[in-house]
Structure 1
Amino acid sequence: MKLKLISSVLSLSLASVLAACQTTPSTSSQKEAIHVKQHLQQTLQEYTWSYQPQQQIPPIVLSFQDNRIGIYSGCNRMGTDFSLNQNTLKTGNVISTQMACEPELMKQEQFAASLFQNHELTLNINTANPDQPILTVHSADGQQYQFVGTATPETKYQGQGEIVFLEVAPETKACVGVAAQQCLQVREIQYNAQGLKTATGDWELFYGQIEGFQHDPKLRTIIRTKRFTLKNPAADQSKYAYVHDMTVEQELVK
């Protein structure tokens, strides 16, 4: 009886060891797959990605947020849901606004929509140059497209920006910063939850630039900006950086 008991215990122990040996690599592989997916998704979200098929027209730009891709190619705003399985991107139906644009832009837009319309795409990211990483998209038909990354403002300034609405006057004024220059005139606009204006600030000279905003002396403009607090501003520099997020109103002035 004792021999049988010892034999049974040894058999059970050996079976447990074999089971452990078999499951450990599987568990390790699962953890590695999760790590690869998380790293890829984080990198995708830290940049916007541009691919320019033609030099004469705007590029195709991708932005990733949570489980959604925003696609813009110079005309309509498009987007689709996506999921990741390691470096495989699975997309859903592409939805779009319905503006009519120039034929070349529409043709490029159709290409961008077809690339991401209900497909499984293989992604590879080269981060050897973190300022301009390269995202290679391998399409379902075997073609490869390289998108160049540009850090999002949140990545660049290492934090979340505060939403600030600014009215920008058509006229600039002479001002002195590091040197004599022309400064924008701006005033802050505040809105309530219903989108109605509740307060308008005083006009002030704006030293520096609003990233992504092109001033037009023929237009009175209200823009939505993201205001980031700089971590180590220079002595002659504002403690804030402003990034153009959206144009809210434009009015032609005579």
Structure 2
Amino acid sequence: MPAAHAPLVKILSLLGLAAALTACAGNQTVPFTGTGTPAQSGQVVSSPGPVAPALATHEWELVAMTDAQGRSDTRWRLPGQAAPRLLFADGRANLRNLCNAVSAGYTVQGNHLQWQPGISTRRACADVRLMDLEQRMGQSLAGSASYEVRTNAGGPPLLVLYFGDGSRWELTGSPTAQTRYGGPGERVFLEIAPERMPCSHGAMANAQCLKVREVRFADNGVRQGAGAWQPLYGEIEGYTHQPGVRNVVRLNRFQRPQPLPADASAQVYVLDMVVETERVR
């Protein structure tokens, strides 16, 4: 890498994929210790019917937080920062839109979540308020919590998490990509160039597309090679491109349901995680 380039940042996968783990071996995950205690019984009014499947079929965005004294806690609202999101997948609860990726295993027993020891990537963040929020939210994923899913006619479901210290989170749900597209999708890695490239496709005359190439990894995580650079028609769900920054991303690729909208790609790419980041200018 030329000396003028900024240091390469690699983030360790929390989801156990060997390719991502080895490709990101420059960083470490660290245990996320918390002070959570078992949730008190009687805190939850159970919603009718089975609710556990809804946890994994939706991605949950924080809309309200209450502290242990029952007061509204608005410290999670940071200017220019997307709201934290909680995703349940593969037996792990994953916090997103924080400085680091925070993850904890969980099991469901009735309307109770039992958290398992969590881990986090170790990455400095310029915003100390975001790091403080990450620490506080990560500490909540310890011990156990009670939960309920409230249905809302004509609107998104609401997930309420009750923690043992009396605090709670409220999160609105939106269907995950797997739910929307009817399957788990195909796991792929793409390298995204620092700058976009000209592209034309149907009505997209003189457009600027992401410049990408597919990256291949061996089972042990060693990078084997990459394909040719080409434009990516359409955007990547959940990914915001920064000019001058090269990324390697782990994506889920889905087939778009028929009939296709005019000039839409037959495939949809959804961000799972950023594996490598390098600022080149």
- The normalised TM-score by structure 1 is 0.73
> Over aligned residue pairs, what C-alpha RMSD do you find?
2.8
Distance 1:130 1:209, change over 3 A: farther
For residue 167 of structure 1, what is the aligned residue in structure 2?
191
For residues 274 and 199 of structure 2, what CA distance do their matches in structure 1 show?
25
For residues 250 and 76 of structure 1, what CA distance do their matches in structure 2 show?
13
Cα contact 2:215–2:225 (8 A) shared by 1: yes
In the TM superposition, structure 1's runs of 4+ consecutive aligned residues that sit over 6 Å from their partners are none
Deviation at 1:218? 1.0
Deviation at 1:154? 0.6
For residue 132 of structure 2, what is the aligned residue in structure 1?
107
SS at match of 2:234: coil
For residue 191 of structure 1, what is the aligned residue in structure 2?
217
Cα contact 1:220–1:251 (8 A) shared by 2: yes
1:246 aligns with 2:270: no
For residues 192 and 63 of structure 1, what CA distance do their matches in structure 2 show?
27
For residue 163 of structure 2, what is the aligned residue in structure 1?
139
SS at match of 1:114: helix
Deviation at 1:236? 2.8
* Structure with max Cα Rg: 1
1:213 aligns with 2:239: yes
Number of residue pairs aligned between Structure 1 and Structure 2: 218
Q: Which residue type is aligned with residue 112 of structure 2? A: T
Q: Which aligned pairs between 1:57-96 and structure 2 lie closer than 5 A?
A: 57-72=81-96, 74-96=98-120
- The normalised TM-score by structure 2 is 0.66
Cα contact 2:216–2:224 (8 A) shared by 1: yes
User: What is the CA deviation profile of residues 84-121 of structure 1, one whole-angstrom value per residue up to 9, with x for unaligned ones?
Assistant: 232222334444344444331232123213333213x3
Structure having greater relative contact order (Cα 8 Å, sep ≥ 6):
2
Deviation at 1:228? 0.3
Deviation at 1:51? 1.4
Higher helix share: 1
Q: Which residue type is aligned with residue 106 of structure 1? A: M
SS at match of 1:150: strand
Cα contact 1:223–1:244 (8 A) shared by 2: yes
Deviation at 1:62? 1.7
Pick the aligned partner of 2:59 from 37, 48, 52.
48
Gaps of 5+ in 2: 1-45, 64-75
Cα contact 2:199–2:231 (8 A) shared by 1: no
Q: Which residue type is aligned with residue 237 of structure 1? A: A
